[in-house]
Amino acid sequence: MSEEKVATAIPRPSLSLDTWAVITSFVLALLVRVGALKHIPW
């Protein structure tokens, strides 16, 4: 067998929607905690 190298495209393991939602929420919570987001009005 030759040492020929073949490039194959494989998808990187992706995060689930739930995990993205948790990460985004925690980043927002961190920004609120450190004062980068001072007041979110409603």
Partner 1 sequence: MATIALPSQEAQNPFASVARLVPGVLLLAAIGFGGKVLEQSINGYAKVHHLVIPNIEYVLWAIAIGLLVANTVTIPQVFLPGIATYEFWLKAGIVLLGARFVVGDVLKLGGISITLVILEISGSLVLMTLLGKWFKLKPKLTSLLALGSAVCGVSAIIAAKGAIDADDEDSSFAIAAILALGAIALVFFPLIGHALHLSDNAYGLWSGLAVDNTAEATAAGALFSDAAGKVAVLAKTTRNATIGFVVLGYAIYWASRGQAEKVTNKAAFLWNKFPKFVLGFLAISLLVSVNVFNKGQVESLANLSRWAFLLTFAGVGLRTNFREMSKQGARPFIVGALGEVLIAGLTLGLVVGANAIWKL
Residue pair 25/33 in contact (Cβ under 8 Å)? The answer is no
Contact letters for partner 1, residues 1-30 (x by CB under 8 A): xxxxxxxxxxxx-x-xxxxxxx-xxx-xx-
Number of residues that bind partner 1 (CB under 8 A): 33
39 touches partner 1 by CB under 8 A: yes
36 touches partner 1 by CB under 8 A: no
For residues 37 and 28, what is the distance between their CA atoms, to the nearest angstrom?
8
Helix (H, G, I), strand (E, B) or coil at 42: coil
Residues that bind partner 1 (CB under 8 A): 1-12, 14, 16-22, 24-26, 28-29, 32-33, 37-42
